[in-house]
Amino acid sequence: MNVAIYSQLLGSQHQPVLEVLFGALQRHKARIWLHPLFAPVFKLWQQSAGLTCSNIDTSASVPNNLDFIIIIGGDGSFLKAISEFEYLHVPFVGINTGRLGFLADISPDDIDTAIDALATGKFLLEQRPLLELQPHIDEIKHPFALNEITVHKCDSSSMIVIHTYIDDKYLATYWADGLIIATPTGSTAYSMSAGGPILSPAAQNIIITPIASHNLTVRPLVIPDNGTIRISIESRELNYMLSLDSTSVVLRTPTEISIRKSAHSISVIKLDGHGFFPTLRNKLMWGADKRN
């Protein structure tokens, strides 16, 4: 088994996670490539723990025979890893040391089970669609998003004006703080905070969620995911913020961008019992009875 480990900086509180993870990988004789961000952290931890690990590759270039990319962190780290490695078409698996862990959904207690499942092939592969920005622009190196593409006001309290078209048919003009175009995966992220609906990951839809729209009747809208959403943005400050997941840039207005489902998707490893409905119950407390 050939795995890559991606993590942003980890603290000493994460040492027990590393011990269990690397112990399990060694038992399965995995060859382990460490992302350059993580390799120095790993070396420090190895020295302080006095452990020797074999089959570790710290070269700068990504090996071309990876079976899995293991992310240690929260959903934020998961999104960063996707933006770096989506082009490899290798399944992602997330060990949650963050807060919510919708994407990185394997708890540290389940690491042994998870590595056994990877080694024996006892897992499901879930396909998650990405959104793609059109046209590709120099300011955004990775023009794809797993959660959402958002346009947002910046630099002042003034609203932005967003004219929105679906497949060249006029939908509406939003006078708002911003507009979120979200995938089913992103339905539990920013879109949910702005009042958008939660979609099952298998839904073939895109959500258009306005942020604080100054219009009483405007609501989030769910559309089929085979359309192109074209938005034209105007603002008094002559700029706006464009975000793809956790990457943001400030650009000039007036301008026009298009968003559509990408031809690429990513594969996410799901273990037995780690479906979407248990995640809703466990992470969003659905059905929790506080009456007793």
Q: Where are the alpha helices (DSSP H) in 165-275?
A: 190-193
Stretch that binds ligand NAP, among 96-104, 111-119, 164-172, 225-233 (CB under 6 A): 96-104
Nearer to ligand NAP, 35 or 245 (CB): 245
Stretch that binds ligand NAP, among 1-9, 11-19, 71-79, 262-270 (CB under 6 A): 71-79
Q: Within 235-254, which residues bind ligand NAP (CB under 6 A)?
A: 245-246
Residue 111, interface with ligand NAP (CB under 6 A)? no
Nearer to ligand NAP, 42 or 190 (CB): 190
Residue 147, interface with ligand NAP (CB under 6 A)? yes
Task: From the candidates 57, 67, 75, 105, give the one annotated as an active-site residue.
Answer: 75
Residue 185, interface with ligand NAP (CB under 6 A)? yes
* Min CB(195)–ligand NAP separation in Å: 11
Given candidates 23, 76, 197, 275, which one binds ligand NAP under the rule CB under 6 A? 76
- The number of beta carbons lying within 10 Å of the beta carbon of residue 168 is 8
Residue 189, interface with ligand NAP (CB under 6 A)? yes
Is 75 catalytic? The answer is yes
Residue 188, interface with ligand NAP (CB under 6 A)? yes
Q: Which residues contact 81 (CB under 8 A, 6 or more apart)?
A: 6, 69, 71, 92
Stretch that binds ligand NAP, among 68-76, 127-135, 163-171, 254-262 (CB under 6 A): 68-76
Bridge-based pairing of strands 178-182 and 148-152 is antiparallel
The answer to whether the CB of 234 falls within 8 A of the CB of 161 is yes
Residue 190, interface with ligand NAP (CB under 6 A)? yes
Which string of DSSP letters, residue by residue, matches 242-262? Answer: EEETTEEEEEESSEEEEEEEE
Closest CA to 131 of 17, 247, 212, 269: 247
* Min CB(79)–ligand NAP separation in Å: 6
Residue 186, interface with ligand NAP (CB under 6 A)? yes
- Token output for 49: 């723990």
Kindly provide the residue ranges of all beta strands, DSSP E only, lying in 212-288, ordered along the sequence.
221-224, 229-235, 239-244, 247-252, 255-270
Residue type, 182: A
The answer to whether the CB of 94 falls within 8 A of the CB of 105 is yes
For the chain, the C-alpha Rg in angstroms (whole number) is: 21
Stretch that binds ligand NAP, among 36-44, 75-83, 198-206, 233-241 (CB under 6 A): 75-83
Given candidates 6, 66, 101, 164, which one binds ligand NAP under the rule CB under 6 A? 101
The answer to whether the CB of 35 falls within 8 A of the CB of 6 is yes
Residue nearest to ligand NAP (CB): 76
Measured in whole angstroms, the distance separating CA 98 from the mean position of its chain's CA atoms is 13
Residue for token digits 């942020």?
A: 211
Q: Which residues are catalytic?
A: 75
Binding site for ligand NAP (CB under 6 A): 74-76, 79, 98-103, 147-148, 185-186, 188-190, 193, 245-246
